């Protein structure tokens, strides 16, 4: 027999990091000490008090059964309490909060709930690949909105044709932004709400990095802006905030009809998050400020070291106010991929070529702050020798 993939899988965009992944494996096989600044996954373990809560929760037989798809009420209440404390936003835990098996799960699934074949989803580019892929799997059409440095990496809605806006069903935005590290202010969110109201577009704000911020400047929640709850939802994750990427838990909050629509997909596709993880996550959401400050201080020391280092090398890096990424212009004469390959070959330093996140990312490379500061210093030193 002949096994042929479905068209939706066959039409997936090419995996642009494949070449660089292969080069990394080859370098490692040659015994090169690769400093890998390409990984969007914290290197620091989950805080001990969260692990201890998990150990207790995993022993409870009541947690061994199927969880509810929408999440335990105690977990959803802890999310609502966290939102009240962190953002002064009030949420009804029963109808305005939904647990997710990592926010990627919800982001990937939401087009299935709202997008009909041929309808448009507005997607930022460069951006998290799950936005266009979830759209593709639902039969929707992605319209890519370039995020350019000249516009502080915010989409320019006036550049989107009226006809596209009229066919748009969903709009993805992501601040603090991966990969550009840009943050959005209240005015931008107000503009988003205006567009959403005028064209009847559901807003999906991905706020995975809202707690990885610097210099004490706390990013806004979309939900803090008047009218947001009428037009959309916000995705959050415990992955980056609490170093819990492997645990697979996140949540969506906001508009109850949108939450219910996403919930409808989930009841039919999955059976919720392991309850022990939800219980440990309640503990995570109640983490004291001192512990979170320590995590942020670690990233801030790394950020300062890498930012200063790159500047001294004459590279133009955007100084992040949030996220653990440095979006950095590649030097004249290089493409993103050529620069990444050059640095890996000559210096054993790996960054992520920006074009892998979308065409407008060409000309940039993304460095992640997910290695100790000593390694960052060494990476800068090695790059200095070959630039
Ligand atoms: C890491 C990340 C997420 C979170 O993923 P989880 O599935 O919650 O681990 C979501 N969006 C962006 C842009 C990310 O970089």
Query: Which CATH code fits 48-285?
Result: 3.40.640.10
Candidate of 38, 46, 104, 212 to mutate for ligand 1, largest count of ligand atoms within 8 Å of Cβ: 104
The pLDDT of 103-120, averaged and rounded, is 97
Is the pLDDT at 166 greater than 90? The verdict is: yes
What is the pLDDT at residue 269? 94
What is the pLDDT at residue 228? 98
What is the pLDDT at residue 21? 85
Residue the block writes with tokens 């004249």: 332
Residue the block writes with tokens 């709400």: 193
Locate 43 and state its tokens. 């290197």
Q: Dihedral angle at the C-alpha atoms of 214, 297, 148, 380, nearest 10 degrees?
A: 140
User: Alpha-carbon distance 229 to 256, whole Å?
Assistant: 8
Is the pLDDT at 364 greater than 90? The verdict is: yes
Is the pLDDT at 9 greater than 80? The verdict is: yes
Is the pLDDT at 191 greater than 90? The verdict is: yes
What is the pLDDT at residue 233? 98
Is the pLDDT at 16 greater than 80? The verdict is: no
CA 208 to ligand 1 centroid distance, Å:
6
User: Alpha-carbon distance 253 to 103, whole Å?
Assistant: 11
Q: Which residues line ligand 1 (CB under 6 A)?
A: 40, 102-104, 128, 174, 178, 206, 208, 237, 239-240, 245, 250
The pLDDT of 1-17, averaged and rounded, is 90
What is the pLDDT at residue 355? 95
Q: Which residues pair with 365 in a beta bridge?
A: 328, 353
What is the pLDDT at residue 15? 80
Strands 250-254 vs 97-100: parallel, antiparallel or unpaired: antiparallel
Task: Please give the C-alpha separations between residue 145 and each of 88, 176, 231, 361, in angstroms, as whole numbers.
Answer: 31, 17, 19, 12
pLDDT digits (tens, 9 = 90+) for 256-281: 999 999 999 999 999 999 999 999 99
The pLDDT of 191-203, averaged and rounded, is 98
The pLDDT of 169-191, averaged and rounded, is 98
pLDDT digits (tens, 9 = 90+) for 77-110: 999 999 999 999 999 999 999 999 999 999 999 9
Is the pLDDT at 206 greater than 80? The verdict is: yes
What is the pLDDT at residue 167? 97
DSSP 154-222: ---GGGS-HHHHHHEEEEEEESS-TTT-----HHHHHHHHHHHHHHT-EEEEE-TTTT-BSTT-PPPPG
Q: Which residues pair with 144 in a beta bridge?
A: 123
Region of residue 384 (phi > 0: left; psi between -120 and 50: alpha; otherwise: beta): alpha
Strands 325-329 vs 202-206: parallel, antiparallel or unpaired: unpaired
Q: What is the three-class DSSP state of 295? A: helix
C-alpha radius of gyration, the chain, whole number = 21
* Nearest ligand 1 atom, CA 206: 11
What is the pLDDT at residue 303? 98
Locate 350 and state its tokens. 């790996």
CA 102 to ligand 1 centroid distance, Å:
7
Locate 340 and state its tokens. 């990444």
What is the pLDDT at residue 17? 80
Candidate of 178, 219, 327 to mutate for ligand 1, largest count of ligand atoms within 8 Å of Cβ: 178
Domain-wise residue ranges, the chain = 7-45+290-386, 48-285
Query: Which CATH code fits 7-45+290-386?
Result: 3.90.1150.10
User: Alpha-carbon distance 266 to 255, whole Å?
Assistant: 17
Q: Phi first, then psi: what are they for 288, rounded to 5°?
A: -70, 155
DSSP 108-158: HHHHHHH--TT-EEEEEES--THHHHHHHHTT-EEEEEE--GGGTT---GG
User: Alpha-carbon distance 336 to 362, whole Å?
Assistant: 6
What is the pLDDT at residue 144? 98
Q: Name the percent of the chain lying above pLDDT 90.
A: 96
Residue the block writes with tokens 């042929």: 4
The pLDDT of 1-20, averaged and rounded, is 89
Alpha helices in the chain (DSSP H): 7-10, 18-29, 48-58, 73-87, 103-114, 130-137, 162-167, 186-199, 228-231, 256-269, 275-285, 289-312, 336-347, 373-386
Q: Which helix (H) or strand (E) holds 98?
A: strand 97-100
CA 8 to ligand 1 centroid distance, Å:
23
Q: What is the mean pLDDT of the chain?
A: 97
């Amino acid at each position: 027999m002949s096994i042929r993939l479905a068209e939706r899988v066959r039409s997936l965009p090419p995996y642009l990091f494949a070449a660089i992944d292969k080069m990394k494996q080859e370098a490692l096989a040659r015994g090169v000490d690769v400093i890998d600044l390409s990984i969007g996954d914290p290197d620091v373990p989950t805080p001990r008090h969260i692990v201890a809560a998990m150990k207790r929760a995993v022993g409870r037989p009541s947690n061994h059964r199927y969880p509810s798809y929408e999440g335990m009420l105690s977990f959803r209440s802890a999310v609502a309490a966290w939102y009240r404390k962190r953002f002064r936003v009030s949420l009804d835990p029963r109808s305005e909060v939904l647990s997710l098996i990592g926010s990627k799960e919800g982001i990937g699934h939401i087009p299935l709930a709202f997008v009909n074949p041929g309808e448009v989803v507005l997607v930022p580019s460069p951006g998290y690949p799950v936005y266009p892929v979830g759209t593709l799997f639902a039969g929707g059409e992605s319209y890519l909105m370039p995020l350019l440095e000249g516009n502080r990496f915010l989409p320019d809605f006036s550049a989107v044709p009226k006809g596209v806006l009229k066919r748009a069903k969903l709009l993805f935005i992501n601040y603090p932004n991966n990969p550009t590290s840009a943050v959005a202010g209240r005015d931008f969110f107000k503009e988003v709400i205006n567009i959403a109201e005028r064209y009847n577009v559901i807003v999906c704000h991905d706020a995975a990095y809202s707690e990885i911020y610097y210099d004490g400047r706390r990013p806004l929640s979309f939900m803090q802006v008047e009218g947001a709850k009428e037009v959309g939802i916000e995705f959050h994750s415990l992955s980056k905030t609490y170093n819990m990427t492997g645990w697979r838990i996140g949540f969506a909050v906001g508009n109850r009809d949108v939450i219910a629509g996403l919930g409808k997909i989930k009841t039919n596709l999955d059976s919720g998050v392991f309850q022990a993880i939800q219980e440990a996550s309640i503990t995570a959401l109640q983490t004291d400020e001192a512990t979170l400050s320590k995590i942020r201080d670690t990233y801030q020391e790394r950020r300062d070291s890498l930012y200063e280092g790159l500047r001294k090398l004459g590279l133009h890096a955007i100084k992040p106010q949030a996220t653990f990424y440095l979006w950095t212009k590649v030097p004249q004469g290089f493409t993103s991929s050529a620069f990444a390959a050059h640095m890996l070959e000559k210096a054993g330093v790996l960054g992520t070529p920006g074009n892998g996140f979308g065409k407008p990312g060409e000309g940039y490379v993304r460095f992640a702050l997910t290695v100790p500061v000593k390694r960052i210093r060494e990476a800068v030193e090695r790059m200095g020798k070959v630039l």
